[in-house]
């Protein structure tokens, strides 16, 4: 398993939970609202993944892929 797999799974869980929460709090179940929330949830999940990836790499909890790619050459 790659080191980023748990981070990707947690970003997916964040996306699903955030979108579901926003849908539940909004209480409006029209197709357009659901589509907008799905798109914005995907964007929020991606931004969460990128920010956590950056933070974990800064704290040296994830390997530096650029350094390992250069070492393989």
1: confidence class by pLDDT, cuts 50, 70, 90:
confident
pLDDT in tens, 3-56: 889 999 999 999 999 999 999 999 899 999 999 999 999 999 999 999 999 998
Q: What pLDDT does residue 70 have? A: 58
Which residues lie closer than 8 Å to 26 by C-beta, 6 or more apart?
33, 37
In this predicted structure, what is the pLDDT of residue 62?
79
pLDDT value at position 8? 94
Supply 8's token pair: 């990707």
Domain residue ranges in the chain = 5-72
Q: Are 35 and 68 in contact (CB under 8 A)?
A: no
């Amino acid at each position: 398993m790659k080191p980023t797999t748990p981070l990707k799974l947690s970003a997916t869980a964040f996306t699903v939970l955030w979108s579901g929460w926003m849908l539940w709090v909004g209480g409006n179940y029209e197709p357009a609202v659901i589509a907008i929330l799905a798109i914005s949830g995907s964007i929020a999940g991606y931004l969460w993944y990128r920010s956590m990836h950056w933070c974990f790499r800064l704290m040296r909890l994830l390997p530096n892929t650029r350094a390992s790619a250069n070492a393989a050459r």
